[in-house]
Amino acid sequence: LGVICRRTGDFRGARKFYEESMAIALTVPSDKERDELVAGLHYALASLAYFTNEHPDAMSFIQKAIASFSTLKDEYRLNMSYVLKGDIQFKLDQKDKARDTYRFVLQRADRNTEKLQVIRSMLGLAEVYLAESNWEGVQKMIQQAEDMNRDQFKAEAERLKTVKARLPNRSQLGAPS
């Protein structure tokens, strides 16, 4: 329900739902189940804080999620959390850290069978390269993202279009047209 609230713009309702869920999750008697629920809620709170531009809070929550998913050995959600961490770092103007985080996810791609995390990392890295005017890096990430089947990733396809639209044309780069 919290995700539905967030996606419909009811950020206050989403936060309330996540906080109420956290209070209940903390009472679950099974350590493993409690830890899984709390880690997921930390991720949800990080995502919500990211979407509401509360980036320091988002970073605090995502660090907790990463620590928990590491302990739980949940590779899928750990990599998902690292991608969000890179997005948060970029918004906090920590481009070097964001670049390292996205690269870390891509280096783990052999263990990460989830294409969504790979393409999101590529696009995040492309945005870092754009901010640094590293046109070659942007082009490389765009090409790799375009080589992937993106049919199931509508938001990422839109993000790819946005990144491509922000690239200067060849004449602005000093290259022959």
Split the chain (177 residues) into runs of 10 and give each run's mean pLDDT. Answer: 88 94 96 96 96 97 97 92 97 97 88 79 94 92 82 77 79 45
What is the model's pTM? 0.86
Buried b / exposed e over 160-172, threshold 16 CB at 10 Å, is beebeeebeeeee
Q: What is the pLDDT of residue 171?
A: 43
**Residue among 57, 102, 69, 61 at smallest CA distance from 83:** 102
Q: What is the pLDDT of residue 174?
A: 45
Gap between the terminal Cα atoms of the chain: 51
- Would you state the structure tokens that stand for residue 33, as one six-digit string? 């189940």
**Residue among 8, 55, 47, 45 at smallest CA distance from 23:** 45
Amino acid sitting at position 11: F
- For 34, 37, 38, the CA distances from 23, given in Å and listed in that order, are 11, 11, 9
**Residue among 90, 115, 109 at smallest CA distance from 100:** 90
